[in-house]
Structure 1
C-alpha cells in the first residue's frame, strides 16, 4: 500500500498543462537536444543496444523493466510485476527525480528539473518504435 502511495504522489504534483489527452505535449526536436544528457547510458534508434541503461526504443507505453537482456533494479521489476507501464505521465514523474519515484533504482541520474525538458524528451522518445525506426 505504501509503495503505491509513493509512486502515485509525484503524479499528483505534475501540472495538468503538461498533458493533453493522456500524452505529453512536447517538442521532439527540442527533446533530441535534452536527450544528449541521457546518451551516456541509453541508446535509441536503429541498432540501439543496452548500455549502462536499457535501450529506449518504444519506451512510451511499454511495460516497465521489460527490455530483454537488461538487468533491472528490484524496485523496477516490482513495478513491472505490479503491471506498471511507462505512460507519458509515469515517465514524466520518473524523469523529474528517478530516485524519488523508484527508491532503490540503479539509475544515478539526478533528473530533469524543467517541466519543458521532461515533456520534450518524452516527445522525442515517442518518435522511436520498438524496432528503432
Structure 2
C-alpha cells in the first residue's frame, strides 16, 4: 500500500507542477495580448483623433467662408457669385471624410452635413425647413 501511495503522490506532484506551468504560461500570454491590444488602441485613437481634428478645422473654415459669402450676398455686394459658393461647398465635401452635400434647388439653399459613412440618412420637409434624420437622431439643419 505504501508503494501505491507513493506512486499516486508522485503522479499528483507531477500533475500539479504541470498545471502550475500551464497557468504561468497562460498568464504570460494573456499579459502580452493585453499589452498588444492596449498599444493598438492607443495608436488607433491617435490616428482617428488627428483625422477628426482635421475635419473639424476644415469644417470650421468652411463655415467661416460660407458666412462671409452669405453676408456679402445679403448686403447686396455681388462680388461673390453663386457658382463660387457652390464650388466652395464641393471642395469641402470630400467623400472619404464623411461630408455630404445635399442640394435642394427648389429651396435655393444647400445643406452640408457631417455624417458617418455607415449611417442611413432620411430627409423630410416641415414648416421649419428640412430636417435630416441620421440613425434615429433628428437634426434640424
TM-score calculated relative to the size of structure 2: 0.21
Going by fraction, where is helix more abundant, 1 or 2? 2
Higher radius of gyration, 1 or 2: 2
Higher relative contact order by CA 8 Å / sep ≥ 6: 1 or 2?
Answer: 1
1 or 2, which has the higher strand percentage? 2
